[in-house]
Every structure is written in structure tokens, then in C-alpha cells.
């Protein structure tokens, strides 16, 4: 299996504390209620694990992945995104590789994704689970966006 070569200069950071909301423009493509960059920043800072791909030339974050975990048995991966212009260049693959390495000692690492993304995750050693349940509450994103300082 061949992987795309990472663009030159991309830097991966494990700590989002130094990021600013304006570095997070352009994500959440296709989401019916996309978080604002300020809410996105809160999401990164509130996650147990947040890894971002930064283009130092522009200062923009071009990709990110997050996980929440108990640090003992389980983790859930709520988000992995790469800006559309940066997709297909290995950034998502590297984000997943780094995330799975960070969570390697856990019993379970779960995520929910669109069906067309399953082959991507299967290439990284994840597999389909027989059942899942969940909910989506767009009003929660609207409320978070409205509550920005």
C-alpha cells in the first residue's frame, strides 16, 4: 500500500494551547451546523488528545485529530479533519498514525464515520463493529457558537 508523501514543512503538534482561533478557518466542510473557529479551538483544548498539522509557511492548521479517553481502557475519536486543499497528501494518515501510537496501550479505540471513510480507517487497522448507537444535536453546536466570548 502506497502512502502520499507529506508536504514539506508540515509540523505536527501535540499541544493546542498555543493556537489561535484564526488559524482554524475552513474546517467542518459539509457540516449542517459547523462550529466556529473559537468553538473549534475549545474542542481541541478540551480533548484528552489533540494532534494538529500546521503549515508554518501560512501559520494555518491544515489538519487535526482528537480523542477523549479514560487513559486506562477506552478512547473515542470524535474528529479527524484535513482542509480540502490539503487532502490526499498523507496528512490524515500521519494524524491517525500518531493518534493510534498515543493510544496503543488501550483496549478499545472507537470512532463513528461516514460509510465512504471506512476503507481509510480499515487501512490503519481499525475494523467495523457490529453495532453502534448515538445521537446528534445540532442545537448544541448553535448554543456553543452563540456563547463565544
Sorting pLDDT into bands at 50, 70 and 90, what band is 135?
A: confident
Q: Answer with the residue of higher pLDDT: 8 or 84.
A: 84
DSSP string, 11-39: EEES-GGG--GGGGTT--TT-SSPPPHHH
Sorting pLDDT into bands at 50, 70 and 90, what band is 144?
A: confident
Do residues 87 and 106 touch, judged by C-beta distance below 8 A? no
Model confidence at 8: pLDDT above 50: yes
Q: What is the CATH number of domain 11-127+134-146?
A: 3.40.630.30
Q: How confident is the model over 48-58, as a mean pLDDT?
A: 96
If we measure between CA atoms, which residue out of 130, 110, 39 comes closest to residue 69?
Answer: 110
Q: Answer with the residue of higher pLDDT: 113 or 40.
A: 40
Residues 6+ apart with CB under 8 A from 80: 63, 64, 65, 66, 92, 95, 96, 99, 111
Task: Specify the pLDDT at position 4.
Answer: 56
* Averaged pLDDT of the chain: 92
Q: How far is residue 101's CA from residue 56's CA, in Å, rounded to a whole number?
A: 24
Spans of all domains in the chain: 11-127+134-146
Task: Specify the pLDDT at position 67.
Answer: 98
Sorting pLDDT into bands at 50, 70 and 90, what band is 69?
A: very high
Amino acid at each position: 500500500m502506497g502512502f502520499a508523501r507529506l508536504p514539506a514543512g508540515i509540523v505536527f503538534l501535540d499541544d493546542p494551547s498555543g493556537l489561535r482561533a484564526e488559524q482554524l478557518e475552513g474546517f467542518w466542510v459539509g457540516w449542517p451546523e459547523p462550529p466556529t473557529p473559537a468553538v473549534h479551538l475549545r474542542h481541541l483544548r478540551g480533548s484528552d488528545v489533540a494532534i494538529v498539522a500546521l503549515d508554518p509557511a501560512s501559520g494555518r492548521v491544515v489538519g487535526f485529530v482528537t480523542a477523549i479517553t479514560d487513559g486506562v481502557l477506552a478512547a473515542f475519536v470524535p474528529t479527524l479533519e484535513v482542509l480540502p486543499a490539503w487532502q490526499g497528501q498523507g496528512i490524515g494518515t500521519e494524524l491517525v498514525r500518531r493518534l493510534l501510537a498515543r493510544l496503543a496501550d488501550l483496549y478499545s479505540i472507537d470512532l463513528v464515520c461516514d460509510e465512504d471513510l471506512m476503507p481509510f480507517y480499515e487501512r490503519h487497522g481499525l475494523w467495523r463493529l457490529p453495532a453502534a448507537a448515538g445521537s446528534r444535536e445540532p442545537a448544541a453546536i448553535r448554543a456553543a457558537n452563540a456563547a463565544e466570548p
